[in-house]
């Protein structure tokens, strides 16, 4: 099987450092990195505001998570069709950043005025979720404009490293900020990161792929491409199942840790930060894993590496130090696995999706990844109330492990390297049994 074999493209450290010397990628990477830290603060601060200030229970936590993710289910595909018709997707990302700043900043303002309610949190989460969908469906166009195809794995490794570093700094910083300032005011830091991201994006000067012709910009084009290509289609089925099941854990984790396990906000932040440490290790290792075992096998390994350690979460019990050790081990392993999976899978998808369909297909990808999460959140809240937190976490983690079966059946284990062009993509898919 042929593939890209350029010197330095396999993911060595000098190649990644070289990318940071390129102004366009450096600004793009900076925009992503700073907003990721704010996102991690958001993930901890808003649920804690609901639990500590508004006495939210399992059902309300489920609905809060669901409202934040509902735009991914409703808007990803139409948003992708809209983005493919635009000549300047970067400008749309800037508008999304300014909108998210205003929405998140409204929470501490409402709290200061004594007017913070669950309804306010629901509305804010929906608005931020909708703007995040807009940001994401445009994102891959901008990424492709600042990174050469043969360096997709290197670029994704750097972005994954930033995501993991944010996962280290964000929860620990967020936990400390919540304890010192209270949960609503910790969100001021999150809001400011969106402004920094917007400034970085405004400074990029790169040519994006031309907009798709209007007659070729139907909503269903991305879905048709996914269903017509078996390998990416089954990959997305696995991603969807993994995402749905992982949402069980994410929806109930703060409530589970704070109530059943008796962890403080600072301890929860430290445990969640371990996910980022694992992600840093995974981001460093991923290019080497891809080079050693191949792109497709790395995706399969990432699925297992991500899901298996999560079984330690419902297993956690006993003395406090033992509980914390189990949760840290789960987060370290899962963080490492998700970094390997994300880097390999994102590089594969960016390479195989035709540029004129990029946002529409990525809308389908976002629906598969994020759109199922509201369903998972509502199920988690409902089952958590009916069955208890620990049995619900067992259901979610067991399903996450089984999601790898989709990927194993996709033909990805036989795909070794990034395809270079459309003809090669067809050959590789044929060899994989598509």
Count other C-beta atoms under 10 Å from residue 322's C-beta: 11
Query: At residue 330, does pLDDT exceed 90?
Result: yes
Q: Helix 89-112 to helix 183-202 angle, to the nearest 10 degrees?
A: 160
Taking the mean position of all CA atoms in its chain, how far away is CA 370? 8
Taking the mean position of all CA atoms in its chain, how far away is CA 119? 26
List the single range of 96-100, 167-171, 252-256, 266-270 with lowest mean pLDDT.
167-171
What does the alpha-carbon distance between residue 210 and residue 214 come to, in Å, rounded to a whole number?
12
What does the alpha-carbon distance between residue 345 and residue 365 come to, in Å, rounded to a whole number?
11
Count other C-beta atoms under 10 Å from residue 317's C-beta: 11
Query: At residue 143, does pLDDT exceed 50?
Result: yes
Query: At residue 157, does pLDDT exceed 70?
Result: yes
**Do 335 and 286 meet the contact criterion of CB atoms below 8 Å apart?**
no
Report the top-level CATH class of 13-431. mainly alpha
b/e per residue, 141-160, with b = 16+ CB within 10 A? bbbbbbbebbbbbbbbbbbb
Count other C-beta atoms under 10 Å from residue 297's C-beta: 18
Question: Quick one: pLDDT at residue 7?
Answer: 35
Which carries the bigger pLDDT value, residue 93 or residue 61? Answer: 93
Residue with tokens 């999976």: 341
Query: At residue 218, does pLDDT exceed 70?
Result: no
Query: At residue 421, does pLDDT exceed 60?
Result: no
Query: At residue 430, does pLDDT exceed 50?
Result: no
**Do 68 and 85 meet the contact criterion of CB atoms below 8 Å apart?**
no
- Compute the mean pLDDT over every residue in the chain, rounded to the nearest whole number: 80
The mean pLDDT of 357-383, rounded to a whole number, is: 82
What does the alpha-carbon distance between residue 124 and residue 106 come to, in Å, rounded to a whole number?
8
Domain ranges of the chain: 13-431
Query: At residue 16, does pLDDT exceed 90?
Result: no
């Amino acid at each position: 099987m042929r593939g890209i074999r350029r010197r330095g493209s396999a993911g060595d450290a000098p190649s990644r450092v070289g990318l940071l010397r390129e102004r366009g990628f450096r600004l793009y990477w900076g925009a992503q990195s700073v907003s990721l830290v704010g996102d991690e603060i958001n993930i901890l601060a808003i649920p804690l505001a609901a639990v500590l200030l508004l006495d939210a229970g399992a059902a309300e936590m489920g609905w809060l998570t669901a409202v934040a993710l509902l735009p991914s289910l409703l808007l990803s595909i139409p948003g992708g069709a809209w983005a493919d018709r635009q000549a300047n997707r970067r400008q749309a990302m800037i508008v999304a950043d300014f909108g998210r700043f205003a929405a998140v900043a409204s929470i501490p303002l409402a709290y200061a005025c004594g007017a913070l309610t669950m309804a306010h949190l629901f509305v804010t989460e929906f608005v931020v979720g909708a703007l995040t969908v807009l940001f994401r469906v445009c994102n891959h166009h901008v990424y492709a404009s600042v990174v050469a195809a043969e360096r997709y794995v290197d670029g994704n490794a750097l972005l994954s490293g930033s995501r993991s570093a944010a996962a280290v700094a964000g929860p620990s910083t967020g936990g400390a900020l919540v304890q010192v300032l209270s949960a609503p005011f910790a969100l001021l830091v999150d809001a400011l990161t969106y402004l920094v991201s917007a400034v970085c994006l405004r400074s990029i000067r790169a040519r994006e792929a031309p907009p798709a012709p209007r007659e070729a910009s139907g909503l269903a084009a991305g879905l048709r491409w996914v269903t017509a290509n078996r390998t990416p289609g089954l990959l997305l089925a696995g991603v969807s199942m993994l995402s749905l099941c992982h949402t069980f854990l994410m929806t109930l984790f703060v409530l589970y840790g704070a109530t059943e396990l008796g962890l403080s906000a600072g301890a929860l932040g430290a445990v969640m930060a371990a996910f980022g440490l694992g992600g840093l290790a995974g981001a460093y290792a991923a290019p080497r894993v891809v080079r050693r075992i191949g792109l497709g096998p790395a995706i399969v390994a990432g699925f297992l590496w991500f899901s298996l350690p999560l079984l330690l979460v419902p297993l956690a019990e006993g003395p406090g130090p033992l509980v914390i050790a189990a949760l840290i081990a789960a987060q370290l392993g899962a963080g490492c696995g998700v970094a390997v999976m994300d880097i390999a899978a994102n590089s594969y998808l960016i390479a195989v999706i035709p540029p004129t369909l990029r946002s529409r297909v990525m809308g389908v990808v976002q629906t598969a990844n994020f759109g199922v999460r509201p369903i998972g959140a509502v199920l988690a809240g409902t089952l958590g109330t009916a069955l208890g937190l620990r049995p619900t976490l067992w259901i979610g983690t067991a399903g996450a492990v089984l999601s790898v079966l989709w990927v194993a059946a996709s033909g990805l284990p036989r795909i070794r390297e990034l395809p270079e062009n459309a003809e090669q993509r067809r050959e590789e898919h044929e060899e994989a049994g598509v």
